[in-house]
Structure 1
């Protein structure tokens, strides 16, 4: 046992931090959970001081707000925390890929420390574990972190100087809807943006069932939540008989469908209520026997219509929703606008 511990300590000491980030450099990432944009993370390194800033969605009383948390650490030339033997987690990954092996890493906001290990790497990627959680990081040709996947979370880099709406702003203020008071919602290019690719009608593994069975499950999920408002239920499984927002309802529908042998799709999209702006929303899509699909909104039990619901992406309820995350990022960048189609269109 002592021999194994000695070897582990040796491994933790031979892999220095990834410290290619020059002093005065900064970067910003969009943070998404299961494809839903929930915040941004900014990193800055200046004269031996490393700053990690998190600006993320904070729900209270059903209203969207923003919570800002910031930690500044003094680091030495090797990227380790001054007075400690740990490497800030984000700094370790920032410029790389880090070499194979392990370091003692520190999660910036929680200050939790433990092994951070790279088990496989290429010139543009690294994968391994951080505090026991699996991760995969990808880098551009210059070795800068481009995207990081940790469990159901994904961090995607924003271009320097890019105007990026914060997710709390998206949830609180929504997206303006251009055009008349009636008509189907659609996305069009904004500025230099490209037209969005159409959302597929089905996922390959969706199973077919009847409208009556799907609607019955939707009513069951609706009744399982006592209140309809975003809470912790939207960020974890389970939670019968509590409050929950649209994501909690959609994920519960998917889990219950899966338990009975059915596979459905989770729709990430926008919802317009009473002529207001378009705000993030989630619902489900089922494949029907004999062809076609049926969209259901278990949060409200209202019909999913083209003039109220606008799909952005169709993903698996069990997956990290990477495609949805990319499309939300395009919306936050202002690459797309929401308009109502005229009858001539």
Structure 2
């Protein structure tokens, strides 16, 4: 069964749920538009289930499975987000006919079910999931940052107001020699004869010959891991003086002694506070929930980009 996923009324992807003997599968297909190119990122998680419908070996219920057939019983259970693995209270607080209300990890939700008890619509914040007909297609979303993000101020280092905390490392990063990391950045840069948004931006490891900043960063991370090193992917903004800031991605390498080195394989330009502004640091193979939430905050206008002398 599939659901169209929309944000602020804009369709941006599809979620498909499948249950078979002893397991539950959650598939997310997220559409992106950058530079006029449409890409799709697919993430799939299959969880083994106990006879009671909990994740095997735990007391947690997959979040989508808890909501899928219902409404659920009033009260709270421990639920797990399929893609992130986050666990916490999932509570049903009210049922009015075919509609139900509650909270998912503290976020309010509203759900509507059909006469057979299948979930038809789920609303969480500004996100909406609507059951789709078989074969129904999703129109490519507009390019949300086509005009970039305005930057206030004429010179100085870039910053967010209010500020966002970005850690120096993510769990699992391994220390690496700076010279070897720079050499890999140059190799990745040369591996993409066509630089610009393309299919490689949405493929695991940035596979392909045409790709933008995300493909370069993912390729760097994949080749670093093949050499026994784990790095972090940086989601952020790139700006030159006098212009807007635009979404960009680069990498951060852990150096011996606790330091770090940021590299931009796309351009090989130095990563400087006057040009690069980190929004979130993530595992290249993990989900980017925090980054996604912060991009949405920028679109809402709750944070702005400034230059500080």
Contact 2:205 2:221 (C-alpha < 8 Å) held by counterparts: no
Q: Pairwise mapping of residues 298-309 of structure 1 onto structure 2 (< 5 A)? A: 298-309=265-276
Query: What's the CA shift for 1:276?
Result: 1.4
Answering whether residue 242 of structure 2 is matched by residue 275 of structure 1, we say: yes
Q: Can you give the 5+ residue segments of structure 2 that lack an aligned partner in the other structure?
A: 15-28, 40-62, 94-100, 103-108, 112-122, 129-140
In the aligned structure 1, how far is the partner of 2:172 from the partner of 2:80? 29
Query: What's the CA shift for 1:203?
Result: 1.5
Query: What's the CA shift for 1:238?
Result: 5.0
Answering whether residue 183 of structure 2 is matched by residue 183 of structure 1, we say: no
In the aligned structure 2, how far is the partner of 1:55 from the partner of 1:288? 34
C-alpha spacing 1:231/1:65, structure 2 compared with 1 (3 Å): closer
C-alpha spacing 1:334/1:98, structure 2 compared with 1 (3 Å): same
Deviation digits for residues 204-261 of structure 1 (CA, Å, limit 9, x no counterpart): 3211111100001101111111111011110012565611000011011111111111
C-alpha spacing 1:66/1:168, structure 2 compared with 1 (3 Å): farther
TM-score for both structures, normalised by structure 1: 0.56
Q: Pairwise mapping of residues 158-169 of structure 1 onto structure 2 (< 5 A)? A: 158=126, 168-169=143-144
Alignment length (residue pairs):
230
Q: Pairwise mapping of residues 137-176 of structure 1 onto structure 2 (< 5 A)? A: 141=93, 142-143=101-102, 144=109, 157-158=125-126, 168-170=143-145, 172-176=146-150
In the aligned structure 2, how far is the partner of 1:66 from the partner of 1:207? 34
Contact 2:191 2:209 (C-alpha < 8 Å) held by counterparts: yes
Q: Pairwise mapping of residues 12-27 of structure 1 onto structure 2 (< 5 A)? A: none
In the aligned structure 1, how far is the partner of 2:274 from the partner of 2:11? 28
TM-score for both structures, normalised by structure 2: 0.62
Q: Can you give the 5+ residue segments of structure 1 that lack an aligned partner in the other structure?
A: 1-11, 19-26, 32-37, 43-53, 68-92, 101-117, 147-154, 161-165, 189-194
C-alpha spacing 1:55/1:259, structure 2 compared with 1 (3 Å): closer
C-alpha spacing 1:145/1:174, structure 2 compared with 1 (3 Å): farther
Contact 2:206 2:218 (C-alpha < 8 Å) held by counterparts: no
In the aligned structure 2, how far is the partner of 1:252 from the partner of 1:55? 20
Provide the secondary structure at the position in 2 that maps to 1:325.
helix
In the aligned structure 1, how far is the partner of 2:252 from the partner of 2:226? 16
Deviation digits for residues 267-308 of structure 1 (CA, Å, limit 9, x no counterpart): 000001353100000000001112310000000000000000
Matching residue of 2:67:
97
Flag the structure with larger Rg: 1
C-alpha spacing 1:271/1:139, structure 2 compared with 1 (3 Å): farther
Q: Pairwise mapping of residues 242-253 of structure 1 onto structure 2 (< 5 A)? A: 242-253=209-220
